């Protein structure tokens, strides 16, 4: 009778442990990549400027002296024109989607792609610089946030203007073993409205999704799986405790035979 009870306890703990084990299907990324007929992706991305974007804008020309009026330094005073125009002022897109640019005044940039914004600024400086004006524009505060079941949740600011969902997760230290890989939430602001989409990164078809590349201020949320949710009722180390208890019971059975 005593052994029967011990056997039942071992069986119960074994079932609990088996239920907590994750299979490759729920853990591995891009599982069907080899069988996907679309071996090359057509997804492309170009950043669209938004309110609160901090921009670096540098005007160049064959004659650098002509660009002085546009490349205002951060601190007024003695200013030396250099090849890279180092130390030039940055511009914040305001709540109206505009920047105030030297000589040109207010210019609406929000809603334009980077290429469109460069073309607009180039056209506006052309009356002042007739010969080969060029504009270099960069977003300096490209930021996204990753929350939930990742190793390093939080906001991340990167120097690049293009980051994929997988790269964002890598920046956050990757998902923990308890993160749901088939239901990742991406929250985005588009045309003043909040939109969202759920991504399954265990499948490769999301590579062609508009959410493959993140945009400025996107929020990525990784939900906990059932094991994490169940463990929260007992504590984060419940699986380890169950495993240890199972080993102890097995030893007891062996020693009492």
pLDDT in tens, 213-225: 999 899 999 999 8
3-class SS letters over the chain: CHHHHHHHHHHHHHHHHHHHCCCHHHHCCCCCCCCCCCCCCCCCCCCECCCCCEEEEEEECCCHHHHCCCCCECCCCCCCCCCCCCCECEEECCCCCEEEECCCEEEECCCCEHHHHHHHHHHHHCCCCCCCCEEEEEECCCEEEEEECECCCEEEECCCCCEEHHHHHHHCCCECCCECCCCEEEEEEECCEEEEEEECCCCHHHHHCCCCEECCCCEEEECECHHHHHHCCCCCCHHHHHHHHHHHHHHHHHHCC
**39 and 162 share one domain:** yes
- Give the mean model confidence (pLDDT) for residues 130-135: 90
Give pLDDT, residue 82. Answer: 47
- Give the mean model confidence (pLDDT) for residues 36-40: 55
The mean of the pLDDT values for the chain is 81
Q: Tell whether 49 is covered by a domain.
A: no
**59 and 12 share one domain:** no
Q: Tell whether 48 is covered by a domain.
A: no
Give residue-wise pLDDT tens across range 172-190: 999 999 999 999 999 998 8
Give pLDDT, residue 209. Answer: 86
Q: Indicate whether this model's pTM tops 0.85.
A: no
- Give the mean model confidence (pLDDT) for residues 13-26: 55
Residue 106: give its domain's CATH number.
3.30.1950.10
Residue 171 has pLDDT above 90, yes or no: yes
**171 and 146 share one domain:** yes
Residue 214: give its domain's CATH number.
3.10.560.10
**60 and 86 share one domain:** yes
**146 and 192 share one domain:** yes
**238 and 219 share one domain:** no
Domain range for 243 = 2-22+229-255
């Amino acid at each position: 009778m005593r052994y029967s009870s011990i056997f039942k306890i071992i069986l119960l703990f074994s079932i609990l442990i088996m239920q907590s084990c994750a299979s490759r299907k729920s853990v591995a990324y891009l599982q069907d990549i080899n069988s996907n007929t679309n071996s090359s992706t057509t997804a492309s991305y170009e950043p669209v400027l938004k309110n609160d974007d901090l921009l670096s804008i540098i005007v160049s020309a064959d004659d650098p002296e002509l660009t002085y009026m546009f490349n205002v330094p951060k601190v007024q005073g003695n200013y030396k024109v250099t090849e890279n125009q180092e130390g030039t002022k940055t511009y914040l897109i305001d709540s109206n989607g505009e920047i105030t640019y030297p000589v040109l005044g207010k210019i609406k940039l929000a809603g334009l792609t980077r290429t469109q914004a460069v073309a607009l600024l180039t056209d506006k400086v052309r009356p002042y610089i007739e010969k080969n004006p060029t504009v270099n524009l960069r977003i300096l505060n490209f930021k996204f946030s990753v929350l939930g079941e990742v190793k390093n949740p939080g906001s991340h600011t990167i120097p690049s203007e293009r980051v994929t969902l997988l790269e964002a997760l890598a920046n956050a230290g990757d998902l923990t073993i308890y993160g749901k890989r088939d239901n990742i939430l991406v929250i985005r602001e588009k045309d003043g409205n909040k939109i969202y989409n759920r991504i399954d990164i265990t499948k490769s078809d999301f590579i062609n999704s508009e959410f493959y590349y993140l945009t400025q201020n996107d929020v990525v949320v990784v939900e906990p799986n059932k094991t994490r949710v169940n463990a929260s009722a007992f504590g984060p180390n419940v699986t380890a405790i169950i495993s240890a208890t199972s080993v102890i019971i097995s030893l007891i059975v062996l020693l009492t035979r």
